[in-house]
Amino acid sequence: MVSKIVLAYSGGLDTSVAIKWLHEKYSADIVTLTVDLGQQEDFKSIEEKAYKVGAIKHYTIDAKEEFARDYIFPAIKANAMYEEKYPVSTALGRPLIAKKLVEIAHREGADAVAHGCTGKGNDQLRIEISAKALDPSLTVLAPTRDWGMSRDQEIEYAKKHGIPVSKAAKKYSIDQNLWGRSIESGPLENPWNAPEDDVWEWTTAPEKAPNEPTFLEITFKGGVPIKVDGKSFDPVALIQHVNKIASLNGIGRIDHMEDRIVGIKSRETYECPAAVTIIEAHKDLEKLVLNRRELSFKKLVDDKWTFLVYAGLWEDPLREDLEAFINKTNERVEGRVRLRLYKGTAMVVGRDSPYSVYDFKTATYDSSSTFDQSLSRGFVPLWGLQTVVSRKVLSRKSESP
C-alpha cells in the first residue's frame, strides 16, 4: 500500500502532471523534490508550481558541491567519455538525485519514490536501480512510463486539472547541470539534419569565437583540478570558471550517434565545455606520469567505469572496485597542463609534473643524450622475431599446392 510518495520534480509538464496523476491513482500524499545540480533554474518558481499543482511539501536541495566532489571528480579521474564522445554529464547526476529521493523518503516516512523518466531512455535505469540499491523496501514508480498518455493527451489532462501548460510547445528536450547540457528530439531526430543555431545556448559558434587563441593553465593534484591560471578554486567554482572560458572559445559542442541501453540508436547533442577541456588536460597529464602498461590497462578500466555510470549501475560494487585502481594511478597525476583554446578546439601545448616519466637526457637527439643506440642493434631483431617467423610460415603455406 502506497500512502506517501516523494517525486523528483523538475517543474516541467511531465512531473507536474505526475503530481496529480499519482495522487489520483494511489490516493497518496505527494512530496516533491528538486535537486540543484547547477542547472540554473528558478527554484522558487518551481516550488510554487509544485504546491499549486498539489504537493503537500516541497524540498529544494543544493547538491552542487557534492555533485562536483563525489561524482564529477571521479569522472575526471576516469576520463569518462561514453563511446569516446559524451562526458556522461546527465548520467552522473541521476544517481545523486536517486540518493536524495531516498534520503527525503526516509525523512518523510514515505513508502515510495517516483520519477518522470520515460521507458525509452537511460534515466529510468539510473534512478530506479540506484534507489532500489539504497533501499530495496521502497516502491519506485514511473508514472510517465506507465500512464499510457500521448503528449496531446497529457496536455489535455493538464488543462482539465488546472495544471499550467506552456503555450509554446518545446522544440527540444533539454537537461542541464554543472557538467553539461543535453539537447535532443525535434529536428535533431533526423541524423542528417545539422543542429540549428537554437540548439546551442552555452557555447559561442566556433566561427564566431575570438580570432586570437586563449591560453589556459590547469593545475591537478591527485588527478583532480585545483587551480586555473595559478588561482585556487573550490570544485564548483573551478568548473564554472572553465565552462565560461571554454564556452567563449566555442569548445564543447558534441553531435553524437549514441547507443542507449534499451537498444535504441539515438542522435544526441551536448554542450560540455568544461568537461571536454578538463578531461583533455587530465588525459594528457596521465600520459606524462603513467607508463605504457598502466595507460593501456587504465583505458580498459576507464571504459568499464564509464559504461557502468552510463548504464545506471552507479551503485554496483564493481564501480568502487574500479575506482580503487583509478585512484591509485591518480596519486601521481599531479602537475600543470597548458591548453590553447581556439575556435572550437582545446589543444594541449604544454605539461609539467614532478612525477614525469619523460626524461630529457634519454629522449633528446642532441649530443647530450645518454641513450645508448647500440643497444637497439640486438633489440630490433628480438622485438620483431615472431612477426618475421610468422610471415615466413604464411609464405610457405601460400606457396603449397
Q: Where are the domains of the chain?
A: 369-399
pLDDT in tens, 318-364: 999 999 999 999 999 999 999 999 999 999 999 999 999 999 999 99
Strand order in the sheet with 180-184: 173-177, 180-184, 265-271, 253-259
The secondary structure of residue 176, as a DSSP letter, is: E
Euclidean distance between CA atoms 385 and 328, whole angstroms: 35
- Confidence category of residue 167, pLDDT binned at 50, 70, 90: low
pLDDT in tens, 11-48: 988 999 999 999 999 999 999 999 999 998 999 999 99
Active-site residue set: 14, 94, 123, 173
Query: What φ, ψ does residue 89 adopt, rounded to 5°?
Result: -65, -50
pLDDT in tens, 204-250: 999 999 999 999 999 999 999 999 999 999 999 999 999 999 999 99
pLDDT at 401: 66
Quick check: 89 and 126 in contact, CB under 8 A?
no
Average model confidence (pLDDT) across the chain = 95
User: Would you call 12 exposed, middle or buried from its count of C-beta atoms within 10 A (0-12, 13-18, 19+)?
Assistant: middle
pLDDT in tens, 263-277: 999 999 999 999 999
